[in-house]
Amino acid sequence: MGTDSKSDLIVDASTRVFPRLGYHKATVEDIIQEANVARSTFYVYFSSKREIFDNIMGGLMEGMLSTIEAGVDSIVETFGASDRPGDAELMKALVDLLNQVFGFIEMNRGMTRIFLNDLIGIDEDMTMLFHEFQDKLTGDFERLIRFGVDIGFLRRVDQRRAADFIVGGLIHVARDISTGVIDSEVDEMSREIVDMQLNGLRPAGARA
């Protein structure tokens, strides 16, 4: 661990305290006890419980959006070529994208649960932060749907509405993953979602 090892220790402790107690009940005292650091050490790095919570949530959203954006970029680059792989390979790439998303959620299950279940309602700023995240997420999937339409993989649809529908379903599944409701294997779940979501978006002759 480097010069910021104490900061990392406090952040790691917070990712255990917030899911266990919730944002409102958790205190700086709970965090420093979990991290086994002095109160003065906490305030060297963070001015308040809210600052460290914002720090963690910002990293969580950035990680999620980066994962999705990189996956969408890869699909567009790979399947936008004139000699692009076939539809079966594209379906597999979409499954792989969801695998990465759900894998990220599983790795960050505790704070994802807080993000998806508790962020709306903490206060106006947190509610707005969640809606901004959802809007960016919808934009990523809208771009993916637009690309699918352009290459003839998907039929012409209202792309924003279709993206809203997909993101709403994914948030619901992510919430179930974060709370332990779903016990399916990630790959199996991703395949089922791709099959179900794409069926209504494929041209009639291409539907399963």
> DSSP per residue over 116-184, as a string?
HHHSBTTBHHHHHHHHHHHHHHHHHHHHHHHHHHHTTSS----HHHHHHHHHHHHHHHHHHHHHT---S
| AA letter at 104 | F
d(CA 23, CA 129): 15
* Total length of the chain: 208
The answer to whether residues 91 and 199 touch, using CB atoms and an 8 Å cutoff, is no
> Any idea what the Cα angle at residue 171 is, between residues 148 and 50, rounded to 5°?
125
Across 44-53, 138-147, 186-195, least confident range: 186-195
In the Cβ-directed half-sphere of 111, how many Cα atoms lie within 13 Å? 22
pLDDT digits (tens, 9 = 90+) for 25-48: 999 999 999 999 999 999 999 999
d(CA 15, CA 32): 12
End-to-end CA distance of the chain, in Å?
A: 51
Q: What is the pTM of this model?
A: 0.87
Statement: residue 207 has pLDDT above 60: no
Statement: residue 1 has pLDDT above 50: no
pLDDT value at residue 202: 83
Is residue 28 classed exposed, middle or buried when 0-12, 13-18 and 19+ CB atoms within 10 A define those classes? Answer: middle
pLDDT value at residue 46: 96
d(CA 48, CA 58): 16
pLDDT digits (tens, 9 = 90+) for 111-150: 999 998 888 878 888 899 999 999 999 999 999 999 999 9
Statement: residue 205 has pLDDT above 70: no
Domains and CATH numbers, the chain: 1-47 (1.10.10.60), 53-206 (1.10.357.10)
pLDDT digits (tens, 9 = 90+) for 4-16: 689 999 999 999 9
The chain-wide mean pLDDT, for the chain, equals 90
Residue range 89-107: average pLDDT?
92
pLDDT digits (tens, 9 = 90+) for 150-183: 998 999 999 999 999 999 999 999 988 888 887 6
For residue 78, give both structure tokens: 């790979």
Residue range 47-57: average pLDDT?
95
Statement: residue 2 has pLDDT above 80: no
Task: Find how far residue 43's CA is from the centre of its chain.
Answer: 30
Statement: residue 208 has pLDDT above 60: no
| AA letter at 48 | S
Per-residue burial over 133-159, b = 16 or more CB atoms within 10 Å of its CB, e = otherwise: beeebbebbbbbbbbbbeeebbeebeb
pLDDT value at residue 203: 81
Split at pLDDT 50, 70, 90, the class of 206 is low
Residue range 91-119: average pLDDT?
92
